[in-house]
Amino acid sequence: MRHRERYSSGKKWESIVGYSRAVRVGDRIYVTGTTATDENSNVVGIGDAYAQTVQCILNIERALKHFDATLENIVRTRMFVTDITRWEEYGRAHGEYFREIMPATTMVEVSGLIDPHMLVEIEADAEF
């Protein structure tokens, strides 16, 4: 098995559930579902789909920096949203960060996330 390097954001759910915020194996980085939380695990932008999407992306960017990567290394994102009718709000934020990068992207509606104030969760895969 190839060397595995893990990154933890320190959020409370990581130790409870048993997962890493991001894992690097070789030239690939897998960023787990990332929500709109601040450094104290508080939800940012309650009720604001655009603001939450931006915060998710900033949290993903922070994880990538641990591995000396940037958003430009992302090749795929997956967006899990609680209200697909607000797709333009999620999409506007995603487009502002990824319009030039153009990763493969999926947006799918889910019935809920771990906190009822969370509107979006984003996974990302990156490569060097």
Res. 64: pLDDT tops 80: yes
For residue 18, the tally of other CB atoms under 10 A from its CB is 7
Structure token pair of residue 11: 């959020």
* Residues 6, 22 contacting (CB under 8 angstroms): yes
Complete domains list, the chain, with CATH = 4-127 (3.30.1330.40)
pLDDT tens profile 92-103: 999 999 999 999
pLDDT digits (tens, 9 = 90+) for 12-62: 778 889 999 999 999 999 999 999 999 888 999 999 999 999 999 999 999
Q: Are 46 and 61 in contact (CB under 8 A)?
A: no
Q: Residue 8 contacts by C-beta under 8 Å, 6 or more apart in sequence?
A: 14, 20, 21
pTM, to two decimals: 0.94
